[in-house]
């Protein structure tokens, strides 16, 4: 049996889990104020008069308020003008919740259910002299359309460079929260591998993953992908439930959230006594590609160089080329923070230079169609001297957790 895989009692392990012992501090009010200064500088740089946010991760980043971006039928708007305090456009019946959740205080503009919140927004923007508005590209289409309807004179621009100009580089406080989330998830990975047994369903594994994250204080699992056997050749899984068998390759991709900051770690190993030679070879190649990507992540180098380094290792071994299978079907990595996938991305064509504070996944998956896939995913962050791992990469296919 692969070392550390199987042999532990499900309930016994679950009941032995303790709340995580080392917790990172939340983002301070000083940091929120620094973010506000920075975003106003960028609003001016890109010749806008204000930035509009509507729920989601960027709203949390700038205000501290966790507010779903799915409730599109009710506008929750945060307008950040190039000068002065922020303005919140909010449903009146949510005022208490909002006042309790907002860290960066500003002026509240409340609307009742029978009122048109976009008319209120338009009136405010006219008062503030906003003629050019940067809109979060992840806002629902209806937000931009309703702004055009109520204030046709305003020019709308893409806020991507403004938002990414703030969120792409993480502060030490953000990195500490990311570190905690990733440490918790790696430990959940280790415990999950131990409780696997023949006949266990993917649903049962997901239940353990969620309960273990919750027991450690992470509030449950943010997402999970659990795959056995041939299903591992589908990078983001299949719909049907699977049952674990002797000799199956196992791929588990999971993450949690600590104060909104997300982990995302994947481990691949074999359940059973024997490991096929081709599985071992691909696993080893995957580890080499992951290491090459890490080494290529040097300050000032373009993001695409990281993808090139991983892909070169895989193609030199006879896979690919490019995204062809068997081989690496997707980019090597993505940024991570308050969103599981965020800019910048480690992909061909991305010339963004690597800078201290940027945080990335490193996951150059190798897929052998209709047979198996191997993904080893860890994350690193850029320091003033180069890349540093958040989590130690998988040790070996025989002893994945070292």
Q: How many CB atoms sit inside 10 A of residue 303's CB?
A: 25
Name which residue leads in pLDDT, 66 or 195: 195
Mean pLDDT, to the nearest integer, of 252-267?
98
Give tens-digit pLDDT for 27-60. 999 999 999 999 999 999 999 999 999 889 999 9
Q: What's the 3-state SS for the chain?
A: CCCCCCCCCHHHHHHHCCCCCCCCCCCCHHHHHHHHHHHHHHHHHCCCCEEEECCCHHHHHHHCCCCCCCCCCCCCEEEEECCCCCEEEEEHHHHHHHHHHCCCCCEEEEECCCCCHHHHHHHHHHHHCCCEEEECCCCCHHHHHHHHHHCCCCEEEECHHHHHHHHCECCHHHHHHHHHHHHHHHHHHHHHHHHCCCCCEHHHHHHHHHHHHHHCCCCCCCEEEEEEHHHHHCCCCCCCCCECCCCCEEEEEEECEECCEECCEEEEEECCCCCCHHHHHHHHHHHHHHHHHHHHCCCCCECHHHHHHHHHHHHHCCCCCCCCCCECCCCCEEECCCCCCEEEEECCCCCCECCCCEEEEECCCEEECCCEEECCEEEEEEECCEEEECCCCCCCCCCCCC
Q: What is the rounded average pLDDT for all residues in the chain?
A: 96
pLDDT for residue 20: 96
Mean pLDDT, to the nearest integer, of 221-237?
96
pLDDT for residue 74: 86
- pLDDT bin (cut points 50, 70, 90) of residue 351 is very high
Taking the C-alpha atoms of residue 61 and residue 170, their distance in angstroms, rounded to an integer, is 11
Give tens-digit pLDDT for 305-328. 999 999 999 999 999 999 999 999
92, 108, 232, 246 from 370: Cα distances, Å: 54, 55, 9, 18
Taking the C-alpha atoms of residue 249 and residue 269, their distance in angstroms, rounded to an integer, is 6
2, 51, 118, 167 from 145: Cα distances, Å: 56, 16, 10, 26
Sign of CA dihedral 120, 99, 218, 23: positive
Taking the C-alpha atoms of residue 124 and residue 88, their distance in angstroms, rounded to an integer, is 10
pLDDT for residue 70: 56
pLDDT for residue 72: 62
Give tens-digit pLDDT for 78-110. 999 999 999 999 999 999 988 999 999 999 999
Mean pLDDT, to the nearest integer, of 296-304?
98
- pLDDT bin (cut points 50, 70, 90) of residue 401 is very high
Q: Provide the β-strand partners of residue 138.
A: none
Give tens-digit pLDDT for 179-216. 999 999 999 999 999 999 999 999 999 999 999 999 99
Q: How many CB atoms sit inside 10 A of residue 207's CB?
A: 15
351-373 CB burial, b ≥16 within 10 A, e <16: ebebeebbbbbbbbbbbbeebbb
pLDDT for residue 13: 98
Mean pLDDT, to the nearest integer, of 324-346?
98
């Amino acid at each position: 049996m692969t070392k550390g895989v199987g042999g532990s009692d499900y309930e016994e392990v679950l009941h032995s889990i303790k709340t995580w012992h080392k917790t990172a501090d939340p983002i301070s009010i000083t940091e929120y104020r620094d973010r506000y200064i920075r975003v106003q500088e960028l609003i001016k740089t890109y010749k806008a008069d204000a930035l509009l946010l509507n729920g989601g991760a960027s709203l949390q980043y700038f205000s501290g308020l966790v507010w779903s971006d799915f409730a599109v039928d009710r506008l929750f708007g945060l307008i950040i003008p190039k000068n002065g305090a922020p303005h919140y456009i909010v449903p009146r019946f949510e005022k208490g919740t909002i006042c309790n959740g907002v860290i960066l205080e500003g002026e509240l503009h409340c609307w009742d259910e029978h009122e048109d919140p976009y008319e209120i927004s338009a009136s405010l923007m006219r008062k503030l002299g906003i003629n050019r508005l940067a809109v979060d590209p992840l806002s629902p289409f209806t937000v931009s359309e309703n702004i055009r309807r109520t204030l046709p004179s305003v020019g709308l621009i893409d806020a991507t460079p403004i938002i990414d100009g703030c969120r792409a580089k993480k502060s030490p406080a953000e990195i500490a929260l990311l570190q905690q989330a990733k440490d918790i998830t790696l430990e959940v990975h280790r415990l999950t591998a131990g409780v696997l047994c023949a006949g266990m369903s993917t649903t049962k594994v997901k239940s353990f993953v969620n309960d273990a994250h919750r027991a450690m204080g992470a509030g449950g699992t943010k997402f999970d992908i659990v795959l056995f056997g041939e299903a591992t050749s589908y990078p983001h899984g299949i719909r049907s439930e699977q049952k674990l068998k002797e000799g199956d390759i196992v791929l588990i991709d999971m993450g949690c959230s600590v104060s909104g900051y997300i982990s995302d770690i994947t481990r691949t190993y074999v359940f059973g006594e024997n490991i096929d030679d081709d599985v071992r070879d691909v696993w080893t190649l995957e580890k080499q590609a992951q290491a090459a990507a890490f080494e290529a992540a040097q300050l000032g180098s373009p993001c695409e160089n990281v993808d090139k380094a991983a892909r070169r290792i895989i193609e030199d071994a006879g896979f690919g080329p490019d995204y062809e299978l068997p081989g690496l079907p997707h980019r090597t990595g993505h940024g991570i923070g308050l969103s599981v996938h965020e800019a910048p991305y480690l992909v061909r064509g991305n010339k963004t230079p690597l800078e201290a504070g940027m945080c990335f996944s490193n996951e150059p998956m190798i897929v052998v169609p209709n047979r198996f896939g191997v993904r080893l995913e860890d994350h690193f962050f850029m320091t003033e001297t180069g890349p540093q791992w958040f989590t130690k990469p998988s040790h070996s296919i025989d002893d994945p957790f070292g």
